Amino acid sequence: MTANAASPNHLQLTRDGQLRHFLTLDGLGRDLLTDILDTADSFIEVGERSIKKVPLLRGRTVVNLFFESSTRTRSTFELAAKRLSADVLNLDINTSATSKGESLSDTLLNLEAMASDMFVVRHAQSGAPHFIAESVTPGVAIINAGDGRHAHPTQAMLDMLTIRQHKGAFEGLKVAIVGDILHSRVARSQIRALNELGAEQIRVIAPGTLLPSDVESLGCTVEYDMARGMKDLDVVIMLRLQKERMEGALLPSEREFYRLYGLSQDKLALAHPECIVMHPGPINRGVEIESAVADGPQSVILNQVTNGIAIRMAVMSMAMGGQVADRQQKLTELTERGLA
């Protein structure tokens, strides 16, 4: 199962450039990414109301199709869908028919037969959301909630929203992503978004064992030394170090990783005084980041969580709007040809 990296937009966009699916940030362009951020901004205040609902997806059914566990991501997608007034089905893959031998295609057909309008897909295999988008009935929107090492576009966009809120614009920003770049779909999507939105400099800081061999081709510079990499930073994004990486002999120990690459107050002091600290979560305190930094005045980690709901509301509402516009356009064309 591989992503259609050559031309993702034949799936993602309608002919007039609206979102139909949200699978990757590749090829979306600055204008559309900015539209997503602006739409998310308009949803921020919904979370501050006493009744946190808007009727944009009333009557629609959203299925959270998580083949890989993630409590935080699934919860924010569920909240986002409910705040848009959609009906939500959380499919437990561990007890679903796919774990009993039913094919993914058959599972999708059964869910479509229930008149589902949107699948939010998280999968350990790169390209799975693309495969599903190519397989589903027209009119069903697919949102990528993370696939393999490939992409995590909504996480990247909530990070961009957080950066814009605190820095105003991307031009002139120096941003570093620190940690396990090799296995991180988040880092790949963040680098793509930062480049598209105009960040001045994107650095990745990590040991050589946690860097892809072609990392610079993504549009970033490599720094192996944390002290040099932190100099003059406006934004530092720490990545979660997964325990299995330690068992894979990619690093000598958690203690050694923290000594060299963990974000402490001393290392943060090397950055710009107004540098903000980010982390996609969940946090391993004392491994990637010191508690005093994670809970400190420069941390915007909880803002990221709040912004995750707004970004997912934006993407879901825009994709559903694109699906409706696409269907209407096709119906109009058929009517003009006397076929409808």
82 is in an annotated binding site: no
Residue 111 main-chain phi, psi, to 5 deg: -70, -40
282 annotated among ligand-binding-site residues: yes
The token duo for 115 is 């008149």
Q: Is 243 marked as a binding-site residue?
A: no
pLDDT for res 236 = 98
Cα–Cα distances in angstroms (integers) from residue 51 to residues 45, 46, 84, 315, in the given order: 11, 8, 12, 21
Listed in sequence order, the DSSP H helices in the chain are 9-12, 29-44, 71-83, 104-113, 128-135, 153-167, 185-197, 226-229, 243-247, 254-261, 265-268, 291-294, 301-336
Q: Is 240 a known ligand-binding residue?
A: yes
Q: Are 179 and 210 in contact (CB under 8 A)?
A: yes
pLDDT for 335 equals: 62
150 is in an annotated binding site: no
Phi, psi values for residue 221, rounded to 5° = -110, 150
| Residue pLDDT tens, the chain, 340 long | 444 444 566 789 998 899 999 999 998 999 999 999 999 999 999 988 888 999 999 999 999 999 888 888 999 999 999 999 999 999 867 655 455 556 777 878 888 888 899 999 999 889 999 999 998 888 899 999 999 989 999 999 999 999 999 999 999 999 999 999 999 999 999 999 999 999 999 999 999 989 999 899 999 999 999 999 999 999 999 999 876 555 555 677 888 899 999 999 999 999 999 999 999 988 999 999 999 999 999 999 999 999 999 999 999 999 999 888 776 766 666 566 666 5
* pTM, to two decimals: 0.90
Query: Which residues share a beta bridge with 235?
Result: 175, 276
Sheet holding 174-178, edge to edge: 221-223, 201-205, 174-178, 235-238, 276-278
Strands 201-205 and 174-178 turn out to be parallel
Tell whether residue 139 is among the known ligand binding residues. Answer: no
Using DSSP's 3-state secondary structure scheme, residue 255 falls into helix
| Owner of token pair 């003009």 | 336
CA–CA dist 202, 199 (Å, integer): 7
Q: Cα separation of 154 and 37, whole Å?
A: 11
Write down the pLDDT at residue 100.
Answer: 52
Domains and CATH numbers, the chain: 9-152+306-336 (3.40.50.1370), 154-303 (3.40.50.1370)
Query: Is 72 within 8 Å of 65 (Cβ atoms)?
Result: no
